[in-house]
Amino acid sequence: MAIPRPRWIAVGLVVALMALAVVACGTVGTASPTPGPSASAVETVAATLVASGSPAATTTPKATSTPAPLTATQPGADPISLISFVFTPMFQALFIVLAELYALTGNVLIAIVLLTLLIRLLTVKLSARQLVSQQRMQRLQPELKALQKELQHRSKGDRQAVYQAQQEFYKERGVSPTSGCLPSLLQMGMLIPMYSVIRIGLTNFNPTAMLRVFDVQVVPLTCPNPAHYVGGVLDKTQPCINTVVMGLDMGKEWVLFNLPLGFFTLGVSALALIAAGLQVIQSRMMMPPSAENDPSASTARSMMIFMPLISVVYGGLLPAGLFIYWIANALFSIVQQFLIIGWGSMFPIFGWSPGFARNYTPRFPVTMPEPAEAGKSLAATRYKPEERWASAASTVRPNTHRRAGRRGRRR
């Protein structure tokens, strides 16, 4: 069966964003790292899938079809089915944990927040390592740029020699430019399962098959819900898990109002606005210091505005529960960044810098490691400005033989 063009567009954009994450990891050694983990890239991919009408699992009931029990996706010929099959184990694990938290708390919103915190606590060391790596790379940027300029002159355009010298410089200083890539890649990998759990798992009337491990139901939930039988007939439009909290359905979009913009209608969501604001704060704290002729810093500042804007644009297409996940995730990241880097580059804002942010020392400040092989690499042989001046002065031969004046020679 041929896949509709929007699905191919969605798959292409997913692959492109995955490649973008890999390229960002590969270039972190030569430029200031872009603000990390943020869920911004994750939101973009999820929004792409939603906009194309291609959710992660093929079991999503269509509006005109009869709802069916939730079952594991089988591999198919199209890429969407294959991706769904690959992510099914992760989807089931996340859904079981979410359902268990719901059974314990009786509130799906609290269950989503607890699941988010659990995921972040399991990966807290990796994300902390990423933050430390980014800070160390930012601190080395002035020294690295001076080194690159000198190596370009010394190596006469030999890129391989320059690259090798840079790697020796990182090894000498005890810093790995790619050590912060794994958390970002893990967050990208969490995209499809989390979207499927909220959009598909929470809205299904009978997800019993996904709550079983080796034919043993591990979550004490009765599905279909006995309360959904009316006159002995099951209402399959009602999900087994109660997704409504204070009038807000976690499994559906929540739009305050629609804003017509001519070529499309923007569904404005309050949760999307909150998530976007927290992402701006998170990215602002990790922003590299501004410098002249620094394209990486300019790119990072542009992305700080562009990515939250995408979240707002897709606010009317993504389920409310997914924004709850992103809000909790962003709050955890902000707290973790505050403990490691303090306020970072958050201030000044429009020239205003509050007193509590001045000279603030974070709880776990970033320190630079001791050089591993100091003085052995090509990078260590470079001259500092004062050393270069002393070396030049030492090569000038003093004039010990003064020339006699013409009048003296005539005598």
Residue 324 clears pLDDT 90, i.e. is over it: yes
What confidence score (pLDDT) does residue 394 get?
54
Rounded to an integer, what is the distance from CA 87 to the centroid of its chain?
A: 19
Residue 50 clears pLDDT 50, i.e. is over it: no
Query: What's the mean per-residue pLDDT of the chain?
Result: 76
What confidence score (pLDDT) does residue 29 get?
41
> Residue 142 and residue 230: Cα distance in Å, rounded?
70
DSSP string, 278-341: HHHHHHHHTPPPP-TT-HHHHHHHHHHHHHHHHHHHGGGTS-HHHHHHHHHHHHHHHHHHHHHH
Most confident of 2-6, 71-75, 93-97, 365-369: 93-97
Residue that wins the pLDDT comparison between 327 and 20: 327
Residue 283 clears pLDDT 90, i.e. is over it: no
Nearest CA to 202 among 120, 118, 109?
109
Tokens linked to 139: 């601190």
The one-letter amino acid at 98: L
Q: Domain boundaries in the chain?
A: 5-57+79-202+241-387
The answer to whether 188 and 41 are in contact (CB under 8 A) is yes
**Three-state SS for 13?**
helix
Determine if residue 77 is left, alpha or beta; phi over 0 gives left, psi from -120 to 50 gives alpha, anything else beta. alpha
Residue 113 clears pLDDT 90, i.e. is over it: yes
Among 48-62, 115-129, 260-274, name the one with the lowest average pLDDT.
48-62
Nearest CA to 148 among 132, 164, 135?
164
Mean pLDDT score, 338-353: 89
What confidence score (pLDDT) does residue 22 get?
45
Judge if pTM exceeds 0.85.
no
What confidence score (pLDDT) does residue 295 get?
57
Residue 100 clears pLDDT 90, i.e. is over it: yes
Q: Is the peptide bond before 348 cis (omega within 30 degrees of 0)?
A: yes
The answer to whether 190 and 42 are in contact (CB under 8 A) is yes
Longest CA–CA span in the chain (Å) reads 136
The answer to whether 185 and 37 are in contact (CB under 8 A) is no
What confidence score (pLDDT) does residue 216 get?
93
pLDDT category at 382 given cuts 50, 70, 90 is low
User: pLDDT tens digits, residue range 160-182?
Assistant: 888 888 888 888 887 877 766 77
Mean pLDDT score, 223-236: 92
